[in-house]
């Protein structure tokens, strides 16, 4: 500890608070980007993230307007508030981008993810896997004498909890779609 008891971002040589006004803590944001549905657009959008070292936690993309040739990209990313603002600004300047929305700050939104979870086992573990799937409202989409494939839809936290409970029951494989999100209301 220094003798002047300076806060982070302060300097004994300055009378000004030099801390970043946008903060230096990490935040997770869900961004939706409406883009032209043409070859190479997704690569350009993702290139913006990789070229600047930004992380993508989740990515989904699908055509949402067949006649207008528009696709919606949903990206979940983590960064400081300044980095998130920079990402939104850079996405907004791209030519094939029609709109960028930050669902995290624009109000209430609904986020869901789908996962397929393969569990192998026999006897009591098989029965317990079925009981757990009922609690989580997971549907059995494939069944053999040794395994189940469950389909579960919900928040990422719900899917994480289901997967954790399946580990001791014979979890073999997990396939997740990534988050799809939309704002609530009008």
pLDDT of residue 88: 94
pTM of the model: 0.78
**Cα→Cα distances 47→51, 90, 118, 136, 168, Å:** 6, 11, 33, 37, 39
What is the average per-residue pLDDT within 6-25? Answer: 57
Would you say residue 164 has pLDDT above 50? yes
Find out whether 75 and 111 touch, Cβ atoms under 8 Å. no
What is the average per-residue pLDDT within 25-41? Answer: 93
Would you say residue 82 has pLDDT above 80? yes
Q: In 3-state terms, what secondary structure has residue 37?
A: coil
**Higher pLDDT pick, 151 / 80:** 151
- Residue spans of beta strands (DSSP E) within the chain: 27-36, 55-65, 70-79, 97-102, 109-120, 139-143, 147-154, 171-176, 180-183
**Higher pLDDT pick, 22 / 95:** 95
């Amino acid at each position: 500890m220094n003798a002047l008891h300076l806060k982070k971002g302060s300097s004994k040589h300055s009378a000004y608070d030099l801390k970043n006004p946008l903060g230096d803590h990490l935040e997770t944001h869900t961004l939706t980007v409406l883009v032209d549905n043409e070859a190479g657009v997704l690569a350009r959008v993702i290139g913006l993230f990789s070229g600047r070292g930004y992380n993508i936690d989740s990515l989904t993309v699908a055509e949402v307007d067949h006649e207008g040739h528009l696709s919606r990209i949903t990206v979940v990313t983590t960064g400081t508030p300044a980095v998130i603002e920079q990402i939104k600004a850079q996405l907004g300047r791209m030519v094939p981008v029609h709109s960028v929305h930050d669902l995290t700050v624009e109000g209430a939104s609904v986020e869901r993810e789908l996962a397929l979870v393969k569990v192998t086992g026999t006897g009591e573990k098989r029965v317990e896997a079925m009981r757990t799937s009922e609690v989580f409202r997971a549907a059995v989409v494939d069944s053999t004498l040794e395994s189940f494939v469950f389909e579960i839809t919900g928040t990422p936290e719900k899917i994480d909890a289901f997967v954790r409970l399946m580990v001791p029951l014979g979890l073999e494989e997990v396939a997740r779609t990534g988050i799809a999100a939309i704002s609530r209301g009008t």
